[in-house]
Amino acid sequence: MINIFEVNETNKMIEQEMLDVRTITLGISLLDCCDTDLDRLNARIYEKITRVGKDLVTVGKDIEREYGIPIVNKRISVTPIALVGGPACRSPEDFVTIAQTLDRAAKEVGVNFLGGYSALVSKGMTTADRNLILSIPQALACTERICSSVNIGSTKTGINMDAVKLMGEIVLSTAEATKDQNSLGCAKLVIFCNAPDDNPFMAGAFHGVTEGDAVINVGVSGPGVVKHALEAVRGKNFEVLCETVKKTAFKVTRMGQLVALEASERLGIPFGIVDLSLAPTPSVGDSVAEILEEMGLESIGAPGTTAALALLNDQVKKGGVMASSFVGGLSGAFIPVSEDQGMIDAVNRGALTIEKLEAMTSVCSVGLDMIAIPGTTPATTIAGIIADEAAIGMINQKTTAVRLIPVIGKDIGDTVEFGGLLGYAPIQPVNKFSCADFINRGGRIPAPIHSFKN
């Protein structure tokens, strides 16, 4: 039974501590849209998305108004387009027409992002996979709401180093194609290892092939709520600290479950998962970095940062799984530099480097996220960073990802503005020593020995 204390507590979290539902994401399978004719394929894709997704934004706003719970984003994810477009697309330019169709459909239903312009190439690349990947720079340059992702490795298959090398080149080409927007296209491109099928967060969301025809996934967020809770136990031992994070994550997840079930019922679409990730925003008081500093770090990046983040990530998961039987997606703590004011401040004071961020990714929910680097960074260096991050994911049996933004025309000491939830970022230095000979070897890094479970 819910009592008045719990109601008031939730209201306080929303009004004063920036608790929100970060996204309601509607996953839509496009497998039944496949056709050998490109025009028919585009028509089927547009028709299905606009039919299945027509009420998503309206329902989201209704729930927001009736329950008083902020729902920041309403989004759509679709089946990886390399699979859907393969029979009809003979060139990268053919895939770009699908990106434009997806963009029109996203605008028609009113969602702010649509994810799934994706390819899954952890072991090898089909012709369709390669054509889609080659189309990414143009696709992101000529659309507004499309997000792209490529899965280049997994614990079961190893790392596809041919795909890693290609993605280094694609990231740089995307930066060049969108340089008039501060290389913004790269903020909508994620390279994964062990990508989840049910992630509701952009830019990496896609509707996995093991999913049904449509599903509702919800992502909740509450860094401010966690920080406020920790302020009340300042100086207490680690047992108290862990219990406080866990109890807070439980409360946050329950709210997400409520919204997910309500949206599912009203839309007549099955409920999938709640992703309980702590996703920061550039707003003051909505920072993962500030949570870690509240634990006792002078600045994020100091010794102890990785341990503090591991604690936070684990307790968030433990609290979440007690609150919902269907926790999924990424679920933990995000560390996107440009979207977290505490991270930005730490970079500016010299406390947080890319190398330290890489160490942190071994225990966080995703990986190197929203990091601005010089536009002159070589493609092989970008590929090397992708390979390092993929190796962490492959060996540790977890999702890792890279969202690097080589900003054309910017160098170390400059700042780049992306706007909105994407925030702004200082340009961070990258190791200048070359890894080109390593990247150019080609082939595949095999799966680790502990991947053999049968």
Q: Which H or E run includes 244?
A: helix 238-267
C-beta separation of 44 from 280 below 8 A: no
SS (H, E, C) 65-126: HHHCCCEEEEEEEECCHHHHHCCCCCCHHHHHHHHHHHHHHHHHHCCCCEEEEEEECCCCCC
For domain 21-193, say whether CATH 3.20.70.20 is its number.
yes
Distances (CA, A) of 374 to 91, 295, 355, 407: 31, 33, 16, 6
Q: What percent of the chain has pLDDT over 70?
A: 95
Each residue's pLDDT, cut to its tens digit, for the chain (454 residues) gives 455 545 555 555 554 445 778 888 999 999 999 999 999 999 999 999 999 999 999 998 998 888 888 888 899 999 999 999 999 999 999 999 999 999 999 999 999 999 999 999 999 999 999 999 999 999 999 999 999 999 999 999 999 999 999 999 999 999 999 999 999 999 999 999 999 888 888 888 999 998 989 999 888 877 888 888 898 899 899 999 999 999 888 888 888 888 888 889 998 999 888 888 777 776 666 788 999 999 999 999 999 999 999 999 999 888 888 877 788 777 777 888 888 889 899 999 999 999 999 999 999 878 898 999 999 999 999 999 999 999 999 999 999 999 999 999 999 989 998 887 788 899 999 999 999 999 999 999 999 888 887 7
What digits encode the pLDDT tens for the residues 338-385? Answer: 888 898 999 999 999 999 999 999 998 788 989 999 999 999 999 999
**What value does the mean pLDDT of the chain take?**
89
| Per-residue pLDDT at 122 | 94
The domain locations on the chain are 21-193
To the question of pTM greater than 0.85 for the whole model, the response is yes
